[in-house]
């Protein structure tokens, strides 16, 4: 039961009854509904201002005439306040209908088929080969993972892509370093760290011996030309990197459908250059080839360097075309930090100039920067927090807290993993994605604030209540759920589907994070204010059903943002 749609439909019926001859009225009245800032002002408010022109009447008079047409069992009363018509639910009927709707398919509460028949391509994480996975990769990884889950939950078919940074002269340098000083067993054992040491040594020695640079370029040329030895080593570097990265992805519960990176798209750039040439979009600029974007208040988009080499911009055009032709997407999301805003504006404009009418289906999902306890990440100064180490530390800290608070808890290590990793992910998805994040341990692992552990603990509390509940044969008495605390919780549960739909529309996981957190807070308030298990079986049955609905909705919300839901904490 979507109460927004129900009230929207009711408003439509009231309009037809009060103004049968009205023309030019909005079709989707549900979209106009607002949630009042105070519960004393009702459950939903219908603003009559947008009807004033079509009805040639002042908003207060419209609200008054509509109020005279209200006669539905789900509505206890309506009130006119200025130009607003405020709806108050019939509390008992509201509780009955909502809980029955949730419990009819509890795991699907908030799901929809709005995306049925549509495909979304989601590019995220996009790690670099032969480089460690650090805290700077956290936001793109968990935002992308959450959006994939949200889109799936809304009925979309999703394709998740880890667009690997695996092209460029640096890989020729790495092969040269490996051929000179590398040892296969050491690289296998040391992984990315060992490859990094080789790359650092190459650059250090190249300062004294510049001929090494030519050697690196020669090996990269062999990669470009398809030399079997060069490709074999290159592929092995990728395998070793992904093996290390998979340890992090496994802990985070992240999966990808494709790892096609820049090296794959580099082979498709000839078509891009040819199309740009044929369409008269390429211009010379000091020997390089560009697309002039000055008429659109943007700097030129560099397509070919003066030596004829392509750039990541060229490869991004190739990737966009390839994804459209392969996956036939309706949305293509790029989960990349806001520093790349200009690049994506340029990319989408060039696709538009090339005549691709689907360019507006491509969206840059930007996010802010991450700092660690007040310090910005900076690879040049060496202040880098490696993600696997951060997640390990999170689990260790969570285990220490569990040992202190719940020393007898079974399966403590697994719960510590769920809580520790969840704390990191939640802290990343708690606020609007465009905001910068400053990660602090004390905040992230607080069991009492608006944190991942707090929401997980509320889920575990719901599970505990249901485990302790006796078998009850009586039908629920929904009159037991007409108090303010129960109604506040029910309202939040009723709006959960709206939150998920809005998160999908705006590509904003924090909307689900906040909705889930508010449900947890409301349940805890209800839990402390009311006795759930009492001598009245019918009232107890209703309260247990409310607890079960909360349990399942919180579990769904946690899943959608990438957190596990431990049943005992």
Tens digit of each residue's pLDDT (9 = 90 or more) over 308-320 = 888 899 999 999 9
Q: Is 535 helix (H, G, I), strand (E, B) or coil?
A: coil
Q: What is the per-residue pLDDT for 5?
A: 80
Structure tokens at 203: 């650059």
Cα 93 to Cα 75: distance, rounded to the nearest angstrom: 9
Domains of the chain and CATH, by start? 3-89 (3.30.1360.70), 168-259 (no CATH), 387-560 (1.10.730.10)
Active site residue 131: yes
Mean pLDDT of the chain: 91
Compute and round to an integer the Cα radius of gyration of the chain. Answer: 28
> What are the pLDDT digits (tens) for 482-533?
999 999 999 999 999 999 999 999 999 999 999 999 999 999 999 999 999 9
The DSSP letter of residue 386 is B
511's CB contacts (< 8 A; 6+ apart) are: 499, 500, 502, 503
Residues in the chain: 569
Other C-beta atoms closer than 10 Å to the C-beta of 404 total: 8
Phi and psi at 376, nearest 5°, equal -70, 150
Between 11-20, 139-148, 377-386, the lowest mean confidence (pLDDT) is in 377-386
**398 pLDDT tier (thresholds 50, 70, 90):** very high
Which residue is listed with tokens 């202040």? 383
Containing H/E element for 38?
A: none
Per-residue pLDDT at 383 exceeds 70: no
Annotated catalytic residue: which of 137, 222, 324, 555?
137
Contact predicate 423/529, CB 8 Å: no
For residue 381, the model assigns a pLDDT of 43
**What confidence tier does 424 reach under pLDDT thresholds 50, 70, 90?**
very high
Give the rounded distance of the alpha carbon of 499 from its chain centre. 13
Residue 199 and residue 174 in contact, taking contact as beta carbons nearer than 8 Å: yes
The answer to whether the pTM exceeds 0.95 is: no
DSSP state of 98: H
Confidence of residue 269 (pLDDT cuts 50, 70, 90): very high
Concatenated DSSP letters for 293-348? -GGGT---EEEE-TTS-B-HHHHHHHHHHHHHHHH--SEEEEE--GGGHHHHHHHH
Q: Which residues contact 178 (CB under 8 A, 6 or more apart)?
A: 187, 195, 198, 233
Active-site option among 65, 134, 148, 173: 134
Hunting for tokens 């892509």 — which residue is that?
A: 161
Q: Given a cut of 80, is residue 70 above it in pLDDT?
A: no
Q: Which of 141-145, 147-151, 408-412 has the lowest mean pLDDT?
A: 408-412
At residue 2, the pLDDT reads: 66
Q: Which of 53, 65, 131, 148 is catalytic?
A: 131
443, 451 contact by CB (below 8 A): yes
């Amino acid at each position: 039961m979507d109460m927004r749609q129900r009230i929207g439909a009711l408003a439509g019926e009231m309009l037809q009854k009060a103004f049968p001859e009205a023309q030019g009225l909005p079709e989707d009245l549900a979209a106009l509904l607002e949630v009042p800032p105070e519960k004393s002002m009702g459950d939903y408010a219908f603003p009559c201002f947008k009807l004033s022109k079509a009805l040639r009447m002042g908003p207060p008079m419209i609200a008054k005439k509509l109020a005279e047409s209200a006669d539905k069992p789900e509505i206890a009363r309506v009130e006119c306040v200025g130009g607003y018509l405020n709806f108050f639910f019939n509390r008992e009927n509201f509780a009955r209908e909502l809980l029955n709707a949730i419990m009819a398919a509890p795991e699907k509460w908030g799901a929809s088929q709005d995306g049925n028949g549509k495909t979304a391509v989601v590019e995220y994480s996009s790690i670099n080969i032969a480089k460690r996975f650090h805290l700077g990769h956290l936001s793109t990884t968990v935002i992308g993972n959450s959006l994939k889950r949200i889109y799936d939950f809304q009925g979309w078919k999703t394709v998740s892509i880890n667009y690997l940074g695996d092209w460029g002269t640096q890989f020729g340098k790495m092969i040269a370093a490996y051929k000179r000083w590398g040892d296969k067993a050491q690289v296998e054992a040391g992984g990315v760290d060992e490859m990094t040491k080789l790359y650092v040594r190459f650059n250090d020695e190249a300062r004294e011996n510049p001929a090494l640079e030519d050697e690196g370029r020669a090996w990269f040329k062999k990669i470009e030309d398809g030399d079997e030895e060069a490709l074999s080593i290159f592929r092995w570097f990728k395998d070793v990197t992904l093996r290390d990265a998979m340890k992090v992805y496994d802990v985070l519960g992240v999966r990808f459908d494709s790892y096609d990176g820049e090296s794959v798209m580099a082979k498709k750039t000839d078509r891009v250059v040819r199309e740009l040439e044929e369409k008269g979009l390429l211009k010379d600029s000091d020997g390089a080839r560009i697309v002039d974007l000055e008429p659109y208040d943007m700097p030129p988009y560099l397509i070919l360097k003066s030596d004829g080499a392509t750039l990541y911009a060229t490869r991004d055009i190739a990737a966009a075309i390839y994804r459209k032709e392969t996956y036939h997407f309706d949305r293509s999301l790029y989960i990349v930090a806001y520093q790349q805003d200009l690049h994506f504006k340029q990319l989408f404009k060039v696709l538009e100039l090339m005549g691709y009418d689907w360019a507006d289906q491509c969206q840059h999902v930007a996010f802010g920067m991450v700092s660690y306890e007040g310090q910005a990440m900076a690879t040049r100064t060496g202040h880098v927090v490696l993600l696997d180490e951060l997640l390990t530390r999170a689990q260790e800290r969570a285990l220490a807290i569990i040992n202190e608070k719940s020393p007898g808890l079974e399966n403590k290590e697994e719960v510590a993993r769920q809580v520790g990793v969840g704390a990191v992910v939640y802290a990343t998805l708690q606020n609007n994605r465009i905001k910068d994040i400053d990660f602090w341990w004390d905040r992230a692992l607080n069991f009492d604030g608006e944190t991942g552990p707090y929401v997980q603990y509320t889920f575990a509390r719901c599970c505990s209540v249901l485990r302790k509940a006796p078998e009850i044969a009586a039908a629920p008495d929904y009159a037991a759920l007409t108090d303010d605390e129960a109604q506040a919780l029910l309202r939040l549960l009723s709006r959960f589907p709206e939150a998920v739909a809005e998160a999908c529309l705006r590509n904003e996981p924090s909307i689900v994070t906040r909705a889930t957190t508010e449900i947890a807070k409301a349940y805890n308030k209800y839990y402390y204010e009311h006795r759930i298990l009492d001598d009245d079986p019918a009232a107890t049955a209703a309260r247990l059903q409310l607890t079960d609905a909360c349990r399942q909705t919180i579990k769904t919300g946690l899943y959608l943002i990438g957190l596990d839901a431990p049943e005992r904490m």
